[in-house]
Amino acid sequence: MNLKELKEILQILEDQEITEFELEQEGTKLRVRRGESKAAISRPLAAGANAQAPHEVTEEAAPDVPIEPPPVESGLTIVKSPIVGTFYRSPDPNSAPFVNIGDAVKIGQVLCIIEAMKLMNEIEAEVAGEIVKVHHESGQPVQFGEPLFTVRPSS
């Protein structure tokens, strides 16, 4: 299930004013409940579009596939999380993200922060290139090995 499909499902649920919905397919389970603000692992959607009623969205990860396996074009590199924690795109809530799609990055450049046990860990690029995809929003939990960025290496 990718973000586009998820958005489509949520739009349908909103249009039909459905309060509770569960879908299980091929190792992914999606459960949506409207009205309660308690979140398990919550994935905040892109701001604006579906901001009407608070949705509680819990997507349980397929155990034998990392969350959201991106199709990898040949030659592209995936930057994976080396630790477990919470992903942040910028150094603090008021700053711009470290990197955006299209940015060129050098080896050693800080791409993001992963917070673990109250410590902010800066994740650095190990490959120079261009950011092609950003896999998570700020505040999302990430596990070991989770894809964070897709990079087109420059060399």
Q: Which residues bind other proteins (CB under 8 A)?
A: 40-41, 60-61, 63-64, 66, 83-86, 116-117, 141-146
Q: Which lies closer to other proteins via its Cβ, residue 69 or residue 153?
A: 69
Report how far Cα 48 is from the mean position of its chain's Cα atoms.
17
User: In which residue are the tokens 């603090």 written?
Assistant: 92
Smallest separation (angstroms) from other proteins to the CB of 88: 13
Smallest separation (angstroms) from other proteins to the CB of 83: 7
Q: Which lies closer to other proteins via its Cβ, residue 68 or residue 130?
A: 68
Smallest separation (angstroms) from other proteins to the CB of 57: 14
Q: Which lies closer to other proteins via its Cβ, residue 9 or residue 84?
A: 84
- Using CA atoms, how far residue 11 sits from 19, 36, 46, in Å, is 12, 18, 13
**What is the C-alpha separation between 135 and 79, in angstroms, rounded?**
10
> Helix (H, G, I), strand (E, B), or coil: what is residue 21?
strand
Within 10 angstroms of residue 117's Cβ, the number of other Cβ atoms is 8
Q: Which lies closer to other proteins via its Cβ, residue 88 or residue 105?
A: 88
